[in-house]
Structures are given as structure tokens and as C-alpha cells.
Amino acid sequence: MSDPLNALPGKARRQDDPPDSPRSAGYSEPLRVRLADRDNPLPLDCGRELWPVDVEYEVFGELSPSRDNAILVLHALSGDAHVAGWYKDAEALGRPWYSKRPGWWDTMVGPGKAFDTSRYCVICSNVLGSCYGTTGPLSIDPRTGKPYGLKFPVVTVGDWVRLQERLVTHLGIQKLLAVAGGSIGGQQAIEWGLAFPDRLKCSIVLAASPVLSAQGLAFNAVARHAIRTDPNFRDGLYNGGATPDKGLGVARMIGHITYLSEVSMSRKFGRRLRNRHEPGFTFDVDFEVESYLIHQARSFGERFDANSYLYMTKAMDYYDASAWGDGDLARAAQRAKCAWLVASFSSDWLYPPAQCREWVAALCANRLPVTYVNIESSYGHDAFLLEVDTLSRLIPDFLRGVATR
């Protein structure tokens, strides 16, 4: 396991692998494909049908001739298809924040890494309703010729996975070797095992429970309330005008608190004052933790869309794996056929270990093959991004075991 004190996020984070490093996934570029149109719309859980639907995705490593080495990585709330490697020209792609850093899970995806791109073909696609290339509220509504805004349908984790299945089919893959994700990406990994039990050999579920807690719903409710009451929000039709960055910033600050643990916040910031001396006796920023959060709020507005934040959190709220069993989780798990690796993180309070274990118990109740580990970590929910050493010891062996079965 990584030494938590030695790898505080933002402090002693591991070095990025530059694109020419042997362990880097190298340069990547976003691909796009239309997976639903008027003749073949995407049916949604809300009852509507959506078209056109374009999906942005990236691919790392080579698909084997028998197409049996594909791993679909599933991103979380603010993620995208750029899971690893570097963009040659991030500015030109309109994503300047990626000019100085690699994809969001670059520590885990690359040659010789946990998801070894010299062995596996790793695919990652942006989810429906997000703002990174896949159709979402920023897209043009063909009925009006204008951006959807809040007229975009409320989408679900089920919808996301159904669209991902179209992508996998489009890529000619009958059966995925694995799906893998953390947080709401982990919920997609659960959903894959239930919605398409014959289309994957294993599912890797990190820091995700079969359902979000009341407290999680509460945080999302505040985040959405902050966005929707921002006067710039204008019912989601802010395109071309001032954007609701303040509401989105508050939402992001709340998110950040839930991603860290009390211990990691205390270690990272404690009560240190920004000027290292006395409190200012003004309402300017006094404490480092304030400064950090306000910085996060500001930078998020430059890279995320407020409408998408509403849609993503709503999907997170609605997800309930037990729906496949009419509210009975063990019955839902009956559908599953694949092997499972489930990891929770001891200090995660957004998807706490006890709630993650509910899914493990449901799998056990059905005598399904599940490997479960509760990883001791002080990083809170973010641990699924930061406990790279532990995950890099767990995942390759698990994948090899599944691949040879």
C-alpha cells in the first residue's frame, strides 16, 4: 500500500509519466461515433427516446485478433474519455487543462500499469449527459435547433450503460474482458454486470455501493440547489451568456469535501493559515483549506458545464442496483454471471465500506465469485484515484485469473 503521508494529494503526488516514457499510454486522441439516430434512437429509462447520440471515446492498446482483451473503463462525475496518456494539442481540443497533465487515471492505465495497455485494449467513453464530447445538455436539440439545456432528458446509469453497450458492439467486441470504475464509475460497473451479464467476464467495482445514501442525496441536493439558484443559470439556457459559475463553484466545493476524509483534510491543511501568521479579521481567505476550495471552485467553472453537473448528480441519485430485483438486492444479483472484484476504502464516507459490502453480500448470497477488499486508506473517497500501489497489486492478478479462465 502507498504510504498515505508520503503521497498527499496535491502535495507529494506521484510524478506524471511524460508521453515518451515507457510506462505512458502515450498520445491519444478523442474519437467520436454516432450510436443512435432517428431510425435507431436510444430508449431511455425516463420513457423518452433520444437521437442523435454521439459518443466520445478513447482507445489504448491493441484489440487482440480474437477481441477478447478489451477493458471498458467507466468514469466518475467530472471525468471524461481521456483516461490516460496525453493530448498532442489540448488547446486545440478546447481542453487546455489537459496540456500539462495526462488523463485522469494515467497512474493506472498504461504499459505495465494496473490496466496494462501492452496486454489489454482499454476503452473509455464519455457518458451521456456529460459535457466532454458525448451528447448532453450542451448539444443541439434537433426539434428546436437550439441547445437542449434542461430539455435534455434526465438520464440514468442504466442509460449510460446501454449506450456503452452500443459502443462495445460497434467496436466488434462480443464479450468484454472487464469493466472497471470507481465512484459512479463503480456503479456503472455494477450495472454492466446486471444489464448485460453475458457481455463481460468480470467487473471491477471501486468505492461504489449499490445505492447512494440519504446523506449523499443531501449533498447532491445542495449542489443542484446552488446551481439552479444562480441567477446566471436561467433555467439552463445560459449558452452564449454569463454562465452559472458561482453556483457550480459551490457545488464543486461541496463535492471536494465529500471526496476527502476528515483525516486527509486535517493532514493536508489542518488549520494552517494562508499567511502563516495571524488571522486577518476580515472575510478574505484565512485558512489554507478555504483557499484550496475556492481555487477548486474557480477552476471547475472553466472546465465543466453546470447543466451536466445537474444531470450527472441526478443519475447518481437515481441509481439503485436493487431495481433489477424489484427492490431486493440479492434477487437483483441473481442476474449476474461474471467474476467480481470489489474494493472499498476505509475512510470513504461518500460510499462507505459498509454500504459497498452490501453489494458483496448480495453476490455472496448468490454464490457468485467475488473478491472483496477493504483498503485501509486515509484518503477518503478519492482513494480510488490515489491508492495506486495497492490497486496495482490487486488488479493485474485478478485480471490474469479472469483472462485465463
**At closest approach, how far in Å is the CB of 6 from a copy of itself?**
19
CB nearer a copy of itself, residue 58 or residue 286: 286
CB nearer a copy of itself, residue 53 or residue 323: 323
In whole angstroms, give the CA distance from residue 102 to residue 24.
9
Contacts of residue 277, defined as CB under 8 A and 6 or more positions apart, other chains included, come to none
The 10 Å Cβ neighbour count of residue 43 is 12
Which CA distances in Å does 222 have to 77, 115, 119, 217, 320?
16, 36, 43, 9, 21
- Sign (positive or negative) of CA dihedral 365, 203, 322, 373: positive
**Residue labelled with grid coordinates 461474471:** 338
- Sign (positive or negative) of CA dihedral 279, 281, 283, 284: negative
CB nearer a copy of itself, residue 114 or residue 211: 211
Task: Give Dmax over CA atoms of the chain in angstroms.
Answer: 67
CB nearer a copy of itself, residue 254 or residue 338: 254
**At closest approach, how far in Å is the CB of 361 from a copy of itself?**
17
**At closest approach, how far in Å is the CB of 375 from a copy of itself?**
20
**At closest approach, how far in Å is the CB of 235 from a copy of itself?**
10
Grid cell locating 266: 486535517
**At closest approach, how far in Å is the CB of 282 from a copy of itself?**
6
In order, the DSSP letters of 76-130 are -TT--S--SSEES-TTTTT-GGGSSS--TTTTTEETTSSEETTTSEEEEEPPTT-
Catalytic residues, which ones? 183, 348, 381
Grid cell locating 44: 431511455
Q: Is residue 346 classed exposed, middle or buried when 0-12, 13-18 and 19+ CB atoms within 10 A define those classes?
A: middle
CB nearer a copy of itself, residue 69 or residue 313: 313
CB nearer a copy of itself, residue 94 or residue 270: 270
Asked if 36 and 52 touch (Cβ cutoff 8 Å), the reply is yes
List residues near a copy of itself by CB under 8 A: 45-47, 150, 153-154, 211-215, 217-219, 221-222, 224-226, 228-229, 231, 246, 249-250, 253-254, 256-257, 260, 262, 265-266, 268-271, 279, 281-283, 286-287, 289-290, 293-294, 297, 310, 314, 317-318, 320, 349, 352
CB nearer a copy of itself, residue 140 or residue 294: 294
**Residue labelled with grid coordinates 478523442:** 30
DSSP β-bridge partners for residue 27: 86
Residue closest to 171 by CA, chosen among 58, 302, 253, 324: 58
Q: Are strands 146-147 and 86-87 parallel, antiparallel or unpaired?
A: unpaired
